[in-house]
Amino acid sequence: MRIPSRTEQQKTVARAKCGNLYLKNQGISWVLDDESYFTLSHSTINGNDIFYSSNSAKTLASVKYTPVKKFEPKLLVWVCVSKKGISATIFRQSGMAVNKTVYKGFIKDGVLPFINQHHSDSNYKFWPDLASSHYATEVVEYYRAQKIKFVEKCENSANVPEVRAIEDFW
């Protein structure tokens, strides 16, 4: 598994914050979410995308050269998981940056229904990553208004994809 390169201080802080989360939240279900962008042309999929020719001078330009767009269309895909299941997948059109408005929509349309369906016993904690949109004031106020139990920003450790299982999902 690839993990970020960290300084000793970053390792110490991450270890302490993750340890505190573990000790304070034993026996609960972690609810994790993540989003990813996918190209529509499969250009990021490695494969046999080269050509072979015994005489490249006689090979047609349409075979030798593949035009690519500078900003290829993408699809934004969001999902939420816990040990109790997986949410409905939310798709957004290309060009949608994950800002506070988009992310609040993911909470409203994805996290809340998922929690209501799978965690009605309230034995859960929602663990967003540290993206700025996930802790925007408007989003945090929405968590609180909807009574979503979540990891506060000051408790959340940066750069620990190895402890957030959803980071392997994509």
* Rg for the chain, CA atoms, rounded: 21
Q: Per residue in 5-17, pLDDT tens?
A: 899 999 999 999 9
Largest CA distance in the chain: 69
Q: Are 100 and 139 in contact (CB under 8 A)?
A: yes
Q: What distance in Å separates the CA atoms of residue 69 and residue 43, rounded to the nearest whole number?
A: 11
For 128-155, what is the mean pLDDT? 97
pLDDT at residue 60, rounded to an integer: 85
Average pLDDT of the residues of the chain: 88
pLDDT at residue 20, rounded to an integer: 95
pLDDT at residue 4, rounded to an integer: 83
pLDDT at residue 159, rounded to an integer: 83
For 127-144, what is the mean pLDDT? 96
Please give the domain boundaries of the chain with CATH numbers for all domains: 19-41+75-168 (3.30.420.10)
pLDDT at residue 133, rounded to an integer: 95
For 74-86, what is the mean pLDDT? 94
- Which two tokens mark 159? 């750069």
pLDDT at residue 47, rounded to an integer: 56
pLDDT at 94 over 80: no
For 108-126, what is the mean pLDDT? 97
Q: Per residue in 35-50, pLDDT tens?
A: 998 887 765 555 556 6
Q: Are 23 and 163 in contact (CB under 8 A)?
A: no
Encoded amino acid at 38, one letter: F
Q: Which range scores top for mean pLDDT: 1-5, 36-40, 64-68?
A: 36-40
pLDDT above 90 coverage of the chain, percent: 61
Alpha helices in 88-165 (DSSP H): 100-106, 112-118, 137-145
pLDDT at residue 111, rounded to an integer: 97
